[in-house]
Amino acid sequence: MTERSSWVPDGIDTGLPSAARLYDYLLGGGHNFAADRALAEKFVAAQPNARTIARLNRSFLRRAVLFLAARGIRQFVDLGSGIPTVGNVHEIAQRAAPDSRVVYVDYEDVAVAHSRLMLRDDERATILQRDMTDPTSVLEAARGTGLVDFAEPVGLLAVGVFHFVPPEADPAGLVAAYRDALAPGSHLAFSQFTADLQPAEMAGVVEVMKRSANPMFPRSHAEITALFDGFELVEPGVVPLPLWQPEPGAAVEDPNTAGILAGVGRKR
């Protein structure tokens, strides 16, 4: 039996798990279905550190947005933004600089529906229902919002999403298409799953995600670093999540179990 509720967009298949709703569940959110929760438990069985990894990835997003805001970035494009949860990009950015503008991009129906509800009273933020693997469509729609001026530096966020891009979709070409649309001084904040840290656990996760709408494709440190072509990596480069500019004085969790590599680069 499929699950149905008043907050579910019409036509959605609640029996087919999605990565966005699985991530929502791992973060403790409530916008997920029984099929998502069942798959998430299999994910946790394969990678017992899954909930911590989700939290660490969200923490990296926060630190990256604050880093960019401190360097004068006032407009952000968040690719694969997912289901709204605590500490969204517009909340972080606008707290640091009230004139910050954010364009979220996602194609998942629940993520888009809830983002629209959350942003309906915010004139400086919006959500586009687009597939990030079509940069031409995303960039055109982002320009059309009036919130992004690509002649000025932009913070491009691709946090925890490119591991859903298969090799045949040319991830390097996709990043390059976005990069070429950005003004010098723009930044890319990027994170994705890798098999470099825990290969056995990652192999199990890949098998689990084959049963969802979003199969997973982990990449090596070298492959992820190569995606920053045309960007100058900021310190400390591409590293496990907890090692990317941790909060001063904060305890740093074991990087060997972080599951995800992350980095930020500045367009030359």
**H or E element: which one contains 73?**
none
What digits encode the pLDDT tens for the residues 145-178? 999 999 999 999 999 999 999 999 999 999 999 9
Q: How far is CA 28 from CA 45, 86, 167, 178, 267, in A?
A: 17, 10, 31, 32, 35
Q: What percent of the chain has pLDDT over 90?
A: 81
> For 36-80, how does the pLDDT look when each residue is reduced to its tens digit (9 = 90+)?
999 999 999 999 999 999 999 999 999 999 999 999 999 999 999
Strand-pair partners of 105:
79, 128
Domains of the chain: 19-267 (3.40.50.150)
Helix (H/G/I), strand (E/B), else coil: 123: coil
The H or E element containing residue 12 is none
Residue-wise pLDDT tens digits, 190-209:
999 999 999 999 999 999 99
Is residue 93 within 8 A of residue 75, CB to CB? The reply is: no
Residues 6 or more apart whose CB falls under 8 angstroms from that of 58 comprise: 27, 85, 87
Read off φ and ψ for residue 113, nearest 5 degrees: -60, -45
If pLDDT is split at 50, 70 and 90, which confidence band does 11 have? low
